[in-house]
Chains A and B, each alone.
Chain A
Amino acid sequence: MTTSPYEHHEYDVLIIGAGGAGLRAAIEAKQRGLSVGIVTKSLLGKAHTVMAEGGMAAAMGNVSSEDNWQVHFRDTMRGGKMLNNYRMAELHAKESPDRVRELEQWGALFDRTKDGKILQRDFGGHRYARLAHVGDRTGLELIRTLQQKVVSMGTDVFMECKVLQLVHDESGRIAGAVAYWRPTGEFVTFAAKSVILASGGVGKSWKFTSNSWESTGDGHAMALWAGAELIDMECIQFHPTGMVWPLSVRGLLVTEGVRGDGGVLRNSDGERFMFNYVADMFRAETAESEEEGDRWYEDHSAGRRPPELLPRDEVARAINAEVKAGRGTPHGGVYLDIGTRRSAEYIRRRLPSMYHQFMELAGVDITREAMEIGPTCHYIMGGVKVDADTAATKVAGLYAAGEVAGGMHGANRLGGNSLSDLVVFGRRAGLAASDYVEGGAGPSGFNWGEVESAVARALAPFENEGGENPYDIQRDLQEMMQANVGIIRTGSEIDLAISELETFTERVKNISVKGGRAYNPGWNLATDLPSMLTVSKCTSRGARDRKESRGGHTREDFPKASAEFGTFNLAHTIAGGAWDGEITTERSALLTMPDELKALLEEGK
């Protein structure tokens, strides 16, 4: 092996991402006694997971004793419009209760039931109260617990260190990665026997998003460049309730917990419009009148759930339709009202951070006034195609877990299913990567050529004279994607987006950045743009080819779900691995579900 011209580290397991998935994977590999390095773009504890609010779904049955993994499995599949990898949904439903409980061993403090168990709350699409939570800051509890565990185990964490590209050995197995330190701009290489991607989402490519600057889809893109497949990239969840005003916080999330705790949606006429948007699939289990819905909040057996708690895609579309029909608020949203329905004391106790968020950022007291909300880009269901049991990708030695992995949530994710996904599959990725390392099938060698080309590409913006400002490109890209591949899509707009993205590719090659390499956000953004483009291309291509509406993918020109399209995922690959290489998009058949699981889905239909 050549010696690295850069700072160099070696690990058994290298984990890219310190959100819930990455940290949980680290714990598993660490417990096996392997050497583990975690790399994260921001500081430890700041990953996106920290922002999750409502809760984590697990069929523990602490509140509704009827709940069990079978019901959870069924809810997840139906929420995902059957596009899910059934095996992931099954493992997730079976294992999440244990994954939630073990967090308490490491210090998590969930809200409690009267008899001292973990309290669970209602959420959209979940038949029973299923979300373990801590007020409305569950993600913070999750990440802090895992972070403290990882730190107490003495794990190496590389903070503010951005991975640019994965590195192979000569035979195409994963051998590590190349990265740079944001504080200094210096490069660093990691040789690793296995790599787990846990890099989160892609939302930053849209203008109105609940996601942070980190969600640029680096992991998705790097996996694709490294030879893995991405699936379901067209399935993007627009969360129905994002803030719309003031403009500077447009897109900021308003937790679904507001509706779970009694909040309702109204249009500018004051009408609870959701009753007009109940799809046939959900009619049997949804309340028919406001009275029935209100009864359900008091006692779940006295009525059916109100339509505000339908899965997110349904609610987001309904809001969109109301605004289009001219029944929106002054700032182009609809009203979310909990102030007239619950006491001020109750709201402040159950939804403390929402109360503060509106009070401090919008000057709105949600205990008295209605919130103005509208859909915001929130989550990508699609991601790296993995084996359900092992989280392994197509590339030997490369694993993916968390939001970066695809399949678990199908065409639409249920609220709360992500946090439990992180710990269920984070653990499985950690296990499988450890097995792989212990099995001795690791890489032989390290392709320095890949390192050099990644470094050269990263430094190019300093060489360019008079090129474009990366901020301009980012802004244009976000506006373009929002306009053309947003919540409601049509063929012509998608085609426009696909050709625009080629122009963007050329623009990105022509970026110039000012200043030095040390903590230079302009340069950092320049290195994010290739991933953002790659991901946007896959999303657009998937959106073009899926000529139907399903879950997080809505085509105005194909408003119905089609049985044919329900049998496959759309999978993307890049031959040769160049970041601007030609993407191939193909149909990839869904796994066939065993009969006993099929039977579960029939029940209660």
Chain B
Amino acid sequence: MAAIESATKVELGGVRGGPDVSTLRNDRWWLQPVVTVSILTAFVVYSTWAAFQNQNYYVGAAAHRDLISPFYSPCLTTTCVPGSGSGFAIHGWGLSPALIILIFPLGFRLTCYYYRRSYYRAFWWSPPACAVADGHGSYSGETKFPLIMHNAHRYFFFAGLVFNTLLTYDAIRAFHQPGLGWGVTVGTVVLVINAVLLWSYSLTCHACRHLCGGGLKSFSQHKARYRTWKFLSRYNSKHMNFAWASLIFVALTDVYVRLVASGALTDYKLF
């Protein structure tokens, strides 16, 4: 400890005023945590199930399509469904190929400043809502393992950029219908929207905002980085919206591809 000595002392254990209850709020403060828990739980349950399926994640040339679920791209094992492979294949992986790659988007979202806020509140009750007592006796925040690992968020952000690039490539490929030529199907649109939302989510990331210019002391010396920062800041305030939209949509994309691949739905060609 090397803090400046303050003449005013911080005395611990002073008697506090007000009644000793966990909250006096009489509004519906519990609503937000309930919604968060519901959506995140539904997503986790669905994505775990989908990741273990190891089938119906790709619609290939047989159906005159080239659509891959974002949960399975890039597909990195020798067991990948024909056509879905990425050109790089790991031998001897017996489980679903999704399990290899999902750690990256999962890590990205787990360490995301916005999701941290949401799950600390909704799942960990630390705190459940503002001015509602913390559910725990002791607290060390993000100063110890494992939560200190959140400081690696920017590396997950970089990984996220790689994934976004690959998924963009997938979306472009979806414009091509093998045997039919180029065109747009509902699947194309779905993959494109998915890619756009993922980019929006990543580019509004706080680490991105910092690296692009936020870390500077003086903006007037770095005009271009200032403009980038300014632009990103405008959308950074919408990061929450993009976080939810992209999360929900990525699952819907998988649902769509899965329905088409299983034959339950036909991917309608628009033009």
Contact = CB atoms under 8 A, between A and B. Distances in A.
A156 interface: yes
B31 interface: no
- Interface extent on B, as a size class? under 10
Contacts of B220: 116
A440 interface: no
A156 B7 CA distance: 9
A363 interface: no
A241 to B, nearest CB: 34
Task: Determine chain B's interface SS by DSSP, over half rule.
Answer: loop
Interface string B23-60: 00000000000000000000000000000000000000
Contacts of B7: 154, 156
A102 B25 CA distance: 46
Interface in A116-158: 116, 154, 156
Task: Determine chain A's interface SS by DSSP, over half rule.
Answer: loop
A7 B220 CA distance: 53
A45 B173 CA distance: 62
Nearest to A159: B8
Contacts of A116: 220
A116 B220 CA distance: 10
A154 B220 CA distance: 34
Interface residues of A, number: 3
A7 B3 CA distance: 30
B17 to A, nearest CB: 12
Nearest to A154: B7
A469 to B, nearest CB: 26
Contacts of A156: 7
A116 B7 CA distance: 38
Nearest to A155: B7
Interface string A155-193: 010000000000000000000000000000000000000
Interface string A363-393: 0000000000000000000000000000000
A248 to B, nearest CB: 25
A181 to B, nearest CB: 15
B158 to A, nearest CB: 34
Nearest to B5: A154
A116 B218 CA distance: 13
A116 B219 CA distance: 12
Nearest to A116: B220
Interface in B170-193: none
A332 to B, nearest CB: 38
A156 B220 CA distance: 39
Interface string B207-230: 000000000000010000000000
Interface string B227-259: 000000000000000000000000000000000
A124 to B, nearest CB: 33
Interface in A221-262: none
A239 to B, nearest CB: 37
A381 B120 CA distance: 56
Contacts of A154: 7
A33 to B, nearest CB: 17
A207 B153 CA distance: 58
Interface in A37-77: none
Interface string B76-99: 000000000000000000000000
B70 to A, nearest CB: 40
Interface string B5-31: 001000000000000000000000000
A116 B221 CA distance: 12
A432 B7 CA distance: 28
A154 B7 CA distance: 8
A123 B220 CA distance: 30
Interface string A96-124: 00000000000000000000100000000
B11 to A, nearest CB: 14
Nearest to B7: A154
A63 B37 CA distance: 56
A154 B5 CA distance: 10
A43 to B, nearest CB: 12
B10 to A, nearest CB: 15
Nearest to A152: B4
3 contacts: A116-B220, A154-B7, A156-B7
Interface of A: 116, 154, 156
Q: Ordered nearest first, which 3 A-B pairs have the shortest CB separation?
A: A154-B7, A156-B7, A116-B220
